[in-house]
Structure formats: structure tokens, C-alpha cells
Structure 1
């Protein structure tokens, strides 16, 4: 299962008329105007995906800021987007796939094998000189009840994940990666969650270090070298968290490209830090890499 699709391959699929469902996941922490950005310009045929309402349930302290939505809610969204079983799905955003990776992970978790991230996202499409269209959804979405979508019955559990109890012990049996900004990991700042710091035993691994300067993922060999330096090894159970389970999916995509499986902690630090029974530690131990951030 290829995690990435490059813009030349996507353009060729579009030009040749091969069915491709394009999903635009424009979202960033502190910027709730994804739909407005989409309306101003998106890849022709792309359908807008609202991360806050379609890729997450309502925020609550015991589950975090972006808990995974109920399966039936996600299935209704997938049908709205026009996705059928067996479709080739390509997700993108305008921030190095930091938010699109959430959709990639959720579809993979639901059993979709042919879902990809557009490497470099919207910036790579623009850089290649390809045009955009404006306005509202112009993609393959079909009205609810269309019989052609009846085969889109989702399952879940195809991707590994852990809960808070497992996260508490993970550092003793494997490797727990913290995908947030180094400054948030160290507890120097905390803009959104109730306590600053990190889960005991976690290793700092900011998501932005997965990307080259142009927003594309580093080559597999460079990602393997990066994660090996952080302690990732074959046979060592690896799990990832971030602020609310969004950019941790980006880390899991990068690990997948590098050839390493990893589990997601969906509640992430927003869930963890809201429970006073959970310890939070500050400082650079056991390791701190970089200072760029996640959600």
C-alpha cells in the first residue's frame, strides 16, 4: 500500500479519466477557516472535508480535543464525499499533509487500502504549474441515498491504536513518540491544553522533521535514519501521540513510508493532561529533537 502519490501521477489519473476521489482537508491549529481557503482555490474536482466536524467528535476532557467520531458518523461523511469501495482516494491540505494525514489514517483504519496522501499537498500542485478551481464542492459527492454508494460500509480496527492506560506503560515496553513542537514537549509553552509537558517516558519527535523544505516527505531512507536515531527498531512496539491525535497520524504516515508500523494514541496529550491522575513531566529528557510543532 503506497502512502504517497506525487502530483504528476495524480494529474495523469485526472487527465486519463480514471476515477479518483480527491479530498481537501484544509485545517490548522488556530485557523478554523479551512472551507474559506478551499473556496478560494482547490484542486479541480476536490471535495472539502471539515476536520472539526467530519474527522472528529465533539471535544470533551475525558477524550481530548479531537476524539475519533463514531463509526456511523464517519461512514455518513465518507458517503457524502462520494467514496465507493475500491476507489482510489487522494487526500491533501496546504500544510505538508499535517491535517490530511488524519483522514489517511482514518480511512486506512476503516479498511481502505487505496488511500494516499498527495506528496507536498497543494503547494506541490501549484509548483508544478497546475491550475485550481474556486467555489464550493465540485467533486464526485453524490446525494444521500444514492444506490451507488450502498457498498461503502465501513469497519474499523485495521490500524493499531492505544488508550491512556497503555500510553502510561508504553515507555517501559516500547517507544512512545511525542509529535508536538519541542517547546511543548519540554513544557516551555502550552497554548491549548491544561498542563504543559509530556507523558512520562515519551521521546520528542516533532512532525515537521518528517518533511523537506518544500513540504514533501523526506525520502524513505532519510526517514528510516531519523526514526532509527530516535530509537525505532524492528520488533520494538512504537506508538505516537500529539496534542489531539491529528498530527500524530502524520508521524505514523512517515513511519509507514520508512517501513515501521506504529500505533496511534487518539486522545493524545489533550486527553492525558485533563486527567489529574496522569503524571506530566517537563524538560528535554529522555530526548528532544527540533522545535517545530504539531497540534
Structure 2
């Protein structure tokens, strides 16, 4: 199981010489080369796109992830600090994917690069590649079949899309609606007015209001996995175990074999 924590710019500055610490800039390569924290290694979250969760698709996803973590020079024991533009979906999805791959120590720079007061550089550091051995943490990833089973076994499913998507007003897939009995999750409560993670109170209060207990392991989904990943991070920081359905509504809302709760329900 991975451990998740938030770190400040001051903490990062004070620990830059720690050889076990690896800064991961989870923005696009174009943004990375416009300026980043010295020594940060770039990981493009676009590599994490997954639109189906059948065995063949998961095998490809795992292969790409293992290749990327090897190229980044990571091991399961690396302490990664993930840096987004802000506390955004790409950085959260990176944190989720690294935890799924078996990395044990994951921190996020709270507020992302927008909170960094220091210099931005445009030169990359060099590092040796490593043969990263992926150890999939199945408790962090739910497939469509897992979600289908959850709907039949009274396991909580959280919908981290907008209210309009939840209510079936709009959709990024062929059908409108939601996964049967899914609970609406207001992801605006994950951040405070300064764009930092809001802490445990807002998250745990919302979880309690919709009937999620610390003993539950809900599955969270959104349109394509990004917003669900940030909900995953927020819940993990609050001590709530969670699984992400990464293909989310892109898969469920497109494939007629999966039942939906109609907009009128």
C-alpha cells in the first residue's frame, strides 16, 4: 500500500539533496520546457489514457506504465514528489497510477507549480534508467466488471462528474445517465479557496453525508478518470481507501452491455 502526503515548497527546498527524493513534473512536455523546478523529471499524464478495462487494455496500460517509470529512473522505494500546474486532475492521476504501479511513498506539492516561489529552469537533469518491475496494486484500480459487481453487491460507487453529467443533462459518451445507484460526489469540496487540498474535514463530512464509512472501499469514476483520480487522492489523504475506475464513463456510457440509471430516475 502506498502512503500519500502533501508537502510545501519550503519542505521541497529543504529536501532537494535527499538522494531518495525524485521530483516528477506532471505537466505536458511543452509546459515543462517553458520552465520547471530544477532537477524535476517530466512525466506526460497523457500516457495514462485508458478507455477500456478489459484484460488486453490493462496489459497495454501496465506495459506503458512500466516503461515510463523505468525511463524516469524510479524504483518502488523512490519517494516521488508530484508537481502539477496546480492541484489538478493530471497530477492526481499521476499519483494514482504510480501507486497502482507499486511505488510506496507519494507526496504532492500542494498547490502545484503555481505555489512554487523559486526559480523556474528550462534545462533537464540527467538520471540513469532503471528496470522498474510493476507490481500492480489491484485494490487501487476497478474494472468495468468490478463496477458491475459493485452495483450488485451494495458496494458504494461515487460519481465525481459535474452535477449536469450526473443528472444526465450532458455526457462525454454515447449515453446519458449514471452508473446505477452511484452517489454524487461534489469534487469542488476537495480544494479550499486558495486551490490547496481542503484537508480531511470537508472530505470526511461529505463521505459521512452520503453514507461512506472508513471501512468502505468505494469505487470512484468520472468522465475519463482524471477527476476521479483527484477524488482518490483527497480521500486517501483523509484516510479513506478508494479505487479508481480509470475508463469511467468513456467506457461505461459507450458500451450498451453496462446498465445505466436514466436521467429521469
TM-score range relative to shorter protein:
0.7 to 0.9
- For the Cα contact (< 8 Å) 2:76–2:102, is it kept in 1? no
Structure 1 stretches of at least 4 aligned residues deviating more than 4 Å after TM superposition: 66-69, 282-285
CA contact (8 A) 2:26 2:90 kept: yes
- Note if contact 2:75-2:103 (Cα within 8 Å) is conserved in structure 1: no
Distance in 1 between residues matched to 2:59 and 2:176, nearest whole Å: 23
Q: In 2, are the aligned partners of 1:46 and 1:139 still within 8 Å (CA)? A: yes
SS at match of 2:157: strand
- Is the 8 Å Cα contact of residues 67 and 244 (structure 1) preserved in structure 2? no
Q: What 5-or-longer segments of structure 2 have no aligned partner?
A: none
Structure 1, unaligned runs of 5 or more: 27-33, 286-295
Q: TM-score, normalised by structure 2?
A: 0.87
2:161 counterpart of 1:180: yes
Q: Tell me if the contact between 1:4 and 1:119 (Cα under 8 Å) persists in the aligned partners.
A: yes
State the shift of 1:72 in Å: 2.9
Matches within 5 A, 1:70-149: 70-125=61-116, 129-134=117-122, 138-142=124-128, 149=130
Q: Which residue of 2 aligns with 1:226?
A: 206
Residue equivalent to 2:9? 7
Structure-1 residue corresponding to 2:36: 42
Query: Does the CA contact (< 8 Å) of 1:223 and 1:257 recur in 2?
Result: no
- Displacement, 1:283? 4.2
Assess, with a 3 A threshold, how the Cα gap between structure 1 residues 86 and 165 changes in structure 2: closer, same or farther. closer
Contact map agreement 1:24 1:47 (CA 8 A) in 2: yes
Given the two structures, how large is their TM-score scaled by the length of structure 1? 0.79
Instruction: Evaluate the alpha carbon distance shift between residue 284 and residue 263 of structure 1 in structure 2; reply closer, same or farther with a 3 A threshold.
Output: farther
Pair 1:106–1:218, CA change in 2 (3 A): same
Q: How many residues align?
A: 260
Does the 8 Å CA contact 1:110/1:154 hold for their aligned counterparts? yes
Cα pair distance change 1:95/1:189, threshold 3 Å: farther
Shift of 1:77: 0.7
What does residue 52 of structure 1 align with? 46
> Within 1, Cα distance between the matches of 2:42 and 2:211?
37
Q: Which moved more, 1:231-240 or 1:195-204?
A: 231-240
**Please, what is the CA RMSD of the aligned residues?**
2.4
Aligned equivalents of 2:110, 2:202: Cα separation in 1: 16
| Counterpart-to-counterpart distance in 2, 1:93 and 1:214 | 15
- What per-residue deviation string (whole Å, max 9, x for no partner) do you get for residues 150-187 of structure 1? 4x322112533322233234245121101111211112
The aligned counterpart of 2:133 is 153
Q: What SS is found at the alignment partner of 1:99?
A: helix
Find the counterpart in structure 1 of residue 219 from structure 2.
Answer: 239
